[in-house]
Amino acid sequence: MRPDRFDAQALRFTRSYVAPLIRIWYAKAEFNHLVYNNIMENLSPGYRDRVQQRMAQRNQRRWWSPAENIPGRAPDFSAAFDGK
């Protein structure tokens, strides 16, 4: 663990293991968008861009942008079941 990244790693640990209500998937999604993404961007500038780059390398897309507090549309479930 790099000392300059301790605060970001502590936040990740807290999000994953300490907060019990975060284990509920819809609460976790809300927490990620309203709190976690903003804090991580402040602690580690460029965080959102790095996540987006990793997703592009893996040919992944997201329906709820990390910069949006409320999703702009419903998810497209047909893409999950088309085998793509």
Cα gap 12→1, rounded to integer Å: 13
| pLDDT, tens only, 17-72 | 766 655 676 677 777 777 888 888 888 888 888 988 998 999 988 777 776 767 77
Helix locations, 17-74, DSSP H: 25-31, 37-43, 47-57
Give domain limits for the chain.
10-69+76-81
Cα gap 12→16, rounded to integer Å: 6
Q: What is the pTM for the complete model shown?
A: 0.53
Q: And the tokens for 51? A: 């996540």
Amino acid letter, 49 = D
